[in-house]
Structures are given as structure tokens and as C-alpha cells.
């Protein structure tokens, strides 16, 4: 099954973080998908994640899996972090 949308991880991060430099047409397509944002942040740049953050992220990821989401993660330059849940067949994330 071909995914509804193939997108670069960094572009997806820009859209979900509501960065002003994101592509408006692509953002519209992304917003039509069923995506559960677990962590879209700079969490790994200057501050390491604390224990509470890790517990929250794991809890949200497990809940998303129970709800039928696939989990994807990406760690980009300058500490960018993307952890999301998405419905199977809707999304393909590439580097």
C-alpha cells in the first residue's frame, strides 16, 4: 500500500513545531493526517530529558500503540526531536 504522504523528517518537524519556514501546501496535507504528537521539541539540545519527561514520552508512546498508531522518531541537527504516532498507510518518513 502506498502511503498518502511521503515527507522528510525535518520538514515534518518544521510543520509540527509550527515553524514559520514550513511549506504551507505540505503543512495542509500533514494536518489532514491522523498524527499524535508525542515530542516535537529541542529537548536534546541544551537540556537532557529528565526522568519525568522520559516517563511521559514512554507513556504516551505506549498509549498510542494501544490505540493502533505506528511510532516514528527522528533526532536531527541541533538537538531537534520528533516522536509521533501515525496511522499505518498514511505516512512515510524519509531522511
Contact 70, 1 (CB under 8 A): no
Is residue 10 very low, low, confident or very high in pLDDT (cuts 50, 70, 90)? very high
The Cα diameter of the chain in Å comes to: 40
- Tens-place pLDDT, residues 58-86: 999 999 999 999 999 998 887 788 999 99
pTM, two decimals, is: 0.86
- Tens-place pLDDT, residues 20-70: 888 999 999 999 999 999 998 876 555 566 778 789 899 999 999 999 999
For residues 8-24, average pLDDT: 92
Please give the pLDDT value at position 5.
95
Amino acid at each position: 500500500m502506498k502511503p498518502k504522504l511521503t515527507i522528510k523528517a525535518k520538514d515534518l518537524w518544521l510543520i509540527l513545531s509550527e515553524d514559520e519556514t514550513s511549506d504551507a501546501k505540505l503543512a495542509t496535507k500533514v494536518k489532514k493526517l491522523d498524527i499524535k504528537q508525542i515530542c516535537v521539541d529541542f529537548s536534546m539540545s541544551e537540556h537532557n530529558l529528565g526522568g519525568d519527561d522520559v516517563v511521559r514520552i514512554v507513556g504516551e508512546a505506549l498509549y498510542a500503540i494501544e490505540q493502533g498508531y505506528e511510532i516514528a522518531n527522528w533526532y536531527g541537527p541541533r538537538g531537534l526531536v520528533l516522536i509521533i504516532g501515525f496511522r499505518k498507510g498514511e505516512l512515510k518518513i524519509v531522511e
